[in-house]
Structure 1
Amino acid sequence: MSINTYYTLGKSGLRVSRLALGTMTFGTEWGWGADEETARQLFNTYTEAGGNFIDTADLYTNGTSESWLGKFIYERNLRDRTVIATKFTYNAEPGNPNAGGNGRKNILRAVEGSLKRLGTDYIDLYILHTWDTITPAEEVMRTLNDLVRSGKVRHVGLSDTPAWYAARSQTLAEWRGYEPISTLQLEYSLVERNIEREFIDLGQALGMGVMVWSPLASGLLSGKYKPSEGGSTGEGRLETVKGVSNPAFQKFSDRNWKIVAELEKVAQELDRSMAQVAVNWTANRPGIASVIIGATRLSQLEDNLKALDFTIPAELCDRLESVSRPEAQFPYSFFGDEIQGMIHGGVAVGQQPIGYAPERSIQSTGAGVA
């Protein structure tokens, strides 16, 4: 598999690369990231390799990410070849509660700003960035559907929401004939596997491909933190943002260091970088449609683009699975072999084989809907 192998996203007809380019690093407003010329090199390298799926958000580097992305696409006349995913939710005007959130007023405000910065008249994939805890799914889905009907948006998605909210949103779309959710954008890596409890099955059942962010756990799995060399090199983003409250950057723990140590050993046995192994493992997990890779240096991106050029042997996958397996929690602890055996009378009862029912075989053809 290579970067220029494309798969449909969820149940949609949108064809995307298995590796998406993340542009949260486009701009230096946040104290880290890439300057404009480096960002242009990253964009050009990714697209010249065959990649077509690029992720941004109105939040990223205070809008610089969208503006530069729009400029780079225009410079090379790549709009029709590029699948742009951008996101809304976060407040652009402190003190004004309606300049953020997922209500209709903010969505319609946010989409106009993104279109202007990107220099385009439509967005391929428009994603709710984070659940705001208050806006009903009915309002969100109706507004997103209106944007699709207007031609300003082609497909829609959700990021960082509860599973029940995503399920309700997709059910509303099916019931009312709205544009369905094509993707769930969620954090997933060897050190963050909690979406396996519900989101993977949810995506497969309702036709939403999972689009992964932070497959390198904010740099913890990138190779900058090697236990064999004493841990941190002092260069990683986790060092730069040490002390912030964002949970995405809280990665230092005894459990995670054990995972990093095993990853380093597996990477050495495969003669691959730690980053390549971590991205490869994530991309080949059930239900995963696309993995977002980001970089601040060209060498990082060039390394990540080779992540799908090899296969991790089953024995090494088992070692990574074992060291990173999440602890079973209620009610998921009731879904294992012992309790299920009590339910089914000790007889092995599984789901229908893939392809047995027409709907299962149809779902199995889309990326992330295996």
Structure 2
Amino acid sequence: MFEQHFFEINRLLVKSKALWQVASFECDALPWEREFPALAKAVWSFSDEQIEELDVEHRLLVESLLPALKRDLISQGIEWELKYLCFPALKQSEETEVKEYPSRLSAGVKGRKWQQITLFSDSVMSQGSLQSSFLEWCSGKGHLGRLLAFRTNRLVTSLEWQSDLSRQGQLLSDKFKLHHQHICGDAFKEGESLLKQNQHAVALHACGDLHVELLKQASEVEVKAITIAPCCYHLIKDEEYQALSKQAKSYGLQLSKTDLRLPLQQSVIANEAKNKMRLKEMAWRLGFDSLQRQVRQRLSYLPIPTIKQAQLSGTFKDFCSWAADQKQLCLPININFEHFEQLGVHRQKLTRRIDLVAHLFRQAIEYWLLLDRCLYLQEQGYEVELSEFCHFDVTPRNKLIRANVRT
């Protein structure tokens, strides 16, 4: 199943690159409008409020744009595997009774995060026979490891590179007299020495290269069981994604860090004031960008530092003066700041609509990345299952890869 799905979804992503592999903030028009006129008309028909609503709910986004996209594809006489715009139905963890744990066990952990940890641990516990020990990868304070040690009475080793977090985690585990050791170390350098064959390696939301490194090291050692919930695919040392599986390498789809951010770009419902401030920041950034292009006589985006709310409390002219100072840019006198402010608002509206269409493919890209990991583990001799360990409203990063050494 993985191989066929991967073949089809790769074909979709290759054919549709013009719609999702776009630097929206560098555009002065919809870059694909000529080839997809119905889609262009559709996105401009949405109000700014509708854009916000569609970006929150992926299925609604697909339902709203799919008819226009299909019309454009028909007019071009081409077909795409559009069923992969949404995740296929994945096995969900079985509903279990809510377990009560001592309150001290979750001390300092926010409710939703603790819910993720308990549900992830349920998936670990139901993954075949229990191994003699666990290794928690990129553990932070080891909340997951502490729960596994409490539930199984097995040795748990939690590996974390930040010494302060590791130290705090050990203090928490010692209070319960658990068989739980915290080790401060670099997963890239010291992880392999901690991995054992008769072990279960787990990682809840380890980022990018870190969870990939676990898959590589654990499969090299032939660790009997692996369970990961991937996160932050874009946090990699290379400029482009390095495919894992032979199938992905043979296809040659190139994904930049910008592309790898797409799965994470799903809006959450924020209050009106926060939304207003976010849109203002976007418009002012783009307005200043239009200004600096004219001043520098260069048609290239000039990134500016992270903005504090104070920079948005004054006028657009004040903001441009601050941004110019940050980039050592001398602004001429008699600038029509009102013109560039309005230009920024227009580009903000344009950027949001380009991004909205790109977001049609965020689940397809994440599915491609997940399948690459699953196929890689299969190649290394594992039986692999892709599922969901919790509902989307608990965490959007709810996909689970469970692997057991093939016997």
TM-score, length basis structure 1: 0.29
Larger Rg: 2
Normalized per residue, the structure richer in helix is: 2
TM-score, length basis structure 2: 0.27
Bigger RCO (CA 8 Å, 6+ sep): 2
